[in-house]
Structure formats: C-alpha cells, structure tokens
Chain A
C-alpha cells in the first residue's frame, strides 16, 4: 500500500502542472479560424485569396506592437495591438483592436477601434491589412493558386 504514495504524489504534481499550464495559456483563435479566407471590404465580401493567418503574420513583419487575443462572442476574435512610438511631444501610445468574425468559409473584419488619428472604417483597414501579403506576394489559398484566379485586390500572376 505504501508503494501507492509515490504515484499518488506524482499524480497530484502532474495535476497541479496541468491546471497551471491550462490556466496560464494565453487565449488565441484556433487554426481552423485563422486558416479561413480573409474577406475583402466590398459589398459582396469577395475573398481576398489570403487566409487570416497569412494576413496577420505578414503584417507582423512591419509592426513591433504587442498582441493579445480575446473572444467577444462565439466565432469572433478580437486582436489588440499596442505599441509606443516616440513623437515630438514624448512617447505616444498607439492602440488598435480588430474584431474578426467567421461567416461561412470566410472571416470578415467586423469592427475596428483605434487611438485618435487612426482610421477605424472597415474598408481602409481591410485594404491596409492586405498591403503586406500583396507586397510580399505571400502564398494565396489553394483556390487562388491557379493562373488567372482573382479575388479582392488580387489577380494570380501568369506563369
């Protein structure tokens, strides 16, 4: 019976570690969510040909902001970006919150909140988010890899 004390102790420790690990993990959307095609800002929500993951990762190259995710409701995720820049009046805080929402096979930019002087209208922000993957010629989703394929602000290059 005494031999059970060791495993029991190990079980308690493993349980404690698991609770700590699960409770300390930062929230983030699942891969299923970020692999969805990012929708354009037009009325028909034409697909941009880039997954949300590609859009976010390529934008990361041009930003040193901190990122944190939260989920305001089911099938929606908010990405908060915060950074400090030096201005003539001293350091200035720049904050942006982008809420993305799943709609079928796409993910839409549903709302934008931002510091003063930053645009919050959806079209400006969608177009700005797509600048990085377009400039880097990032890999589009499979549908758009065929010659002549089109999407919002996207035309597949001729081979």
Chain B
C-alpha cells in the first residue's frame, strides 16, 4: 500500500471542506445578462399560461413577496391591497389551475440590470382574459359564467439568482379589472 504523507491528507480534507462550503455559493459567481432575464420572463409567462402551480411557484425565491393593488370592476369599491409571501402565493397559484380558459398577453417589457449584475428590475405590462365567476355563485361547470374579466396589469419585479437559478425575488403589481359580455370573446379550452 502506498504511503500518503499527512500533509497531503490534510490538503484533501481541506479541499473537500472548501468544496462543500463553496458549492452553494457557486450561483453567486454568475452575473446576469439581459438575454437571461428575457428567457426567464418568457419561461415564467409560459408557466402562467399553463397554469401549472408547481412551475409557477418554483420560479419564486424563498423570500418572495407580492404586493398587489387591484381595482375591481366596481369602481365604487376602493382598490384592494394584498401582501403575499411565497406560501400564500403558491396556494393561490394552485387555485389558478382550476381555470380552463385563460389568455395572457405581454404588451411590453423593460429590463434594468443592477450595476453589480446580480439582480435586474423588470417592468412589464400584461393583459389577462379569463372567466369571471361571480363571488357569491358556486360554478358547477367551467362554463358557468356570464362575463369575461380582462385584467390589465403593470408589474415591477426584481429578479435575481438564488441557489444557482434565476427567480423572482419580489413583485409589485397594479391591476385594473373590466368585464365583457361572454358572447364577445371566444377562448379555447386548454
């Protein structure tokens, strides 16, 4: 058996410890480029279009927060303000998957990379179209609605790298809801 000097063994152990300690930090080395952010937002929009909660949720950081300012279609009510942490957001994403008709259009996007290229601020405008189920009526089938809701949203999100992956760190959104008669729009089931 070959003898290994003690100093070599120490080096191996030290290397192993350093490797284990540095592995979680590997992502921190990565710097963001505009193209990464565009691809990431495209991926997030596609996850929203699929209404697949685990994927939507997986694109949010551990300490993700969402602040929503939502003006409902009845203007006599003031806008509702909602603060969600990741847990509540993921739960709501699960409810979202019950929709059978949904359209998401991104109207604009503006990306501003931070000087250190660790984060980026994404400002975007969206229009969502989906059935409007009245709050007091329990739908028995997906077609049990009389109007579509069209929600126009201005989002401002901060994206950054967490555990090596790009994620949303926070989002602030301002939404305005309007209703349109069911016969005026046709959306496929998916």
Co-assembled chains A and B: yes
The answer, yes or no, to whether B189 is at the interface (CB within 8 Å) is no
B4 and A89 within 8 A (CB)? no
Stretch at the interface among B43-51, B71-79, B106-114, B180-188: B71-79
A12 and B16 within 8 A (CB)? yes
B79 and A8 within 8 A (CB)? no
B13 and A93 within 8 A (CB)? no
Residue of B nearest to A5 (CB): B12
B78 and A12 within 8 A (CB)? no
Chain A nearest CB: distance from B190 CB in Å? 22
**Which A105-155 residues sit within 8 Å CB-CB of chain B?**
none
**Which B66-99 residues sit within 8 Å CB-CB of chain A?**
68, 70-74, 77-85, 87-88, 91-92
Residue of A nearest to B80 (CB): A90
Given contacts A88-B72, A88-B74, A90-B80, whether A1 and B87 have CB atoms under 8 Å apart is: no
Chain A nearest CB: distance from B165 CB in Å? 16
Complex: how many Å from CA A84 to CA B85? 12
Complex: how many Å from CA A82 to CA B68? 15
Greatest chain B CB density within 10 A among A12, A13, A64, A85 is at: A12
Complex: how many Å from CA A89 to CA B81? 11
Count of A-B residue pairs with CB < 8 Å: 76
Task: Pick the contact of A66: B68, B77, B91 (CB < 8 A).
Answer: B91
A13 and B20 within 8 A (CB)? yes
Complex: how many Å from CA A90 to CA B79? 8
Q: Is the interface of B mostly helix, strand, loop or mixed?
A: mixed
A92 and B80 within 8 A (CB)? yes
Interface size on B, residues (CB 8 A): 32
**Which A1-19 residues sit within 8 Å CB-CB of chain B?**
1-2, 4-5, 8-9, 12-13, 16
Complex: how many Å from CA A2 to CA B16? 13
Given contacts A66-B91, A82-B88, A84-B88, whether A91 and B70 have CB atoms under 8 Å apart is: yes
Bin chain A's interface residue count: 20 to 34
Chain A nearest CB: distance from B57 CB in Å? 12
Task: Pick the contact of B87: A8, A68, A91 (CB < 8 A).
Answer: A68
30 residue pairs bridging A and B, Cβ less than 8 Å apart: A1-B3, A2-B9, A2-B12, A5-B12, A5-B13, A8-B13, A8-B16, A12-B17, A64-B91, A66-B87, A66-B88, A66-B91, A84-B84, A84-B88, A87-B72, A87-B77, A87-B80, A87-B135, A88-B72, A88-B135, A89-B74, A89-B77, A89-B78, A89-B79, A90-B72, A90-B79, A91-B68, A91-B70, A92-B80, A93-B82
Chain B residues within CB distance 8 Å of chain A: 2-4, 6, 9, 12-13, 16-17, 20, 68, 70-74, 77-85, 87-88, 91-92, 133, 135, 177
